[in-house]
Structure 1
Amino acid sequence: MNTIESESVAEQLLKLFSRLGFPNEILTDQGTQFTAQVMKEVSRLLSMKQITATPCNPKCNGLVERFNATLKAMLKKMCAERPRDWDRYIEPLLFAYREAPQGSTRFSPFDLLYGRTVMGPMQILRELWTDEINENETQHTYQYVIDLKGRLQETCKLAKSELEKSQTKYKHYYDKRAKPRTLSVSGEVLLLLPTDKNKLLMHRKGPFTVVRKLNDLD
């Protein structure tokens, strides 16, 4: 995709949905390409609920931000080793990421999507070294679909259980440095926002008046 205009983003999303299915809801940031009328119309036609993240709050979409950070580190390493043709290794890098187990769920993205361990370079190398060849028994199509559905359901249950354990552990670590703060309506606050010239640089702006309290944390 050469541009990030609303039309291009909508077309790429449709290509993705045509392979994986249409979601009930989609979470995006508040970029203009996602909040434009084109995306609203696409969401309406697909009966898809569009949810936007809180501005300047990457924790709202933490899984994507974590993936972006990991991918940037991988690309940085590849650019240092292959400065002339690093772009040719983007797809292999993505395959490596999708094949590796995720720290919170203990399953790889391939496992959660397809319900099986994908054949990757390490799996091929293992079979060459050990002469192990998994000969799957012949199954009827109907029985295969039933078994696959059962494996996916069981995998999702285990992933959800592991994710809850990880969330509890991460919350424990976060609470060690967290300080209780209470904001009241009509009070004044300072906001940590990107600078006008560089979004990577942050500084506090304000004071701004609190007009509404949504809950204890927002």
Structure 2
Amino acid sequence: MKTIEAESVAEELLGIYSRLGFPKEVLTDQGSQFVSGVMKEVSRLLSIRRLTTTPYHAMCNGLVEKFNGTLKAMLKKMCDERPKDWDRYIDPLLFAYRETPQESTGFSPFELLYGRTVRGPMRILKELWTGESEVSETKTVYQYVLDLQERLEQTCQLAREELKKSRQRYKTYYNKKARVRNMKVGEEVLLLLPTDKNKLLMQWKDHFQ
């Protein structure tokens, strides 16, 4: 997107909804484009419940933040190798991300969305090397829809189970150095908060009770 103004974001979301359907809930951060009057009106017209994350708490939408970090690293590598035309490779980079199984779910985003494995460069290379290609069975449309629905339900169930395991594993890592502290009412404490000049810089502030 060239801009991230509320109108542009709303139009882009409508394009996504037109392909995938209208959700019941949408979780966003508290960026001005998401909490604007335009977005509130769009959500009201489409009967979408708006949810926002807690400020400075990236774990609330951890999958999105992890995706952003991965994509930034991929773009940084591409900018280093192709500084003049790196923007031409955004779609291939996104394809590579979507066809790769995620550690948290155990499935690729493509599998979770469409219920089948995408035919990507690695699949094509395997076919060229082995001379084999998967031949799909001939089924009626009705039977295909039923099988697809069952496959999607099983995939989502397995993904939920993997997410539970991942959450427990991440919780163990996060709490590895944590210590139990007992606070009493009236005690002064230090809080780690963003600085007044730069929200990306943090500092300890006192005189909090």
* TM-score between the two structures when normalised by the length of structure 2: 0.92
Please list every run of 5 or more consecutive structure 2 residues that lacks an aligned counterpart in the other structure.
none
* CA shift in 2, pair 1:145/1:55, >3 Å: same
Is the counterpart of residue 12 in structure 1 residue 21 in structure 2? no
More displaced, 199-208 or 105-114?
Answer: 199-208
Structure 2 SS opposite 1:34 = coil
Question: Equivalent residues in 2 for 1:14-53 (5 A)?
Answer: 14-53=14-53
5+ residue gaps in structure 1? 210-218
Q: What residue number does 1:214 align with?
A: none
Deviation at 1:6, TM superposition (A): 1.1
Amino acid at match of 1:13: L
Distance 1:41 1:189 in 2: 42
Distance 2:44 2:186 in 1: 37
Distance 1:41 1:186, change over 3 A: farther
How many corresponding residue pairs?
209
Q: 2: CA distance between counterparts of 1:51 and 1:204?
A: 29
Give the drift of 1:168: 1.6
Please show how residues 143-162 of structure 1 align to structure 2 within 5 Å. Answer: 143-162=143-162
Contact 1:56 1:193 in 2 (8 A): no
| Percent of residue pairs identical | 67
**1:166-177 aligned within 5 A:** 166-177=166-177
In structure 1, C-alpha distance between the alignment counterparts of 2:184 and 2:43, rounded to whole Å = 36
Post-superposition offset of 1:206? 5.5
**Cα distance in structure 1, aligned partners of 2:147 and 2:91:** 30
- Compute the displacement of 1:105 (Å): 0.8
Q: 1:43 deviation in Å? A: 1.1
SS of 1:125's equivalent in the other structure is helix
Match of 2:180 in 1: 180
TM-score computed with the length of structure 1 as normaliser: 0.89
Please give the per-residue CA displacement for 1:100-145, whole angstroms capped at 9, x wherever unaligned.
0000111000000000000000000000000111111211111111
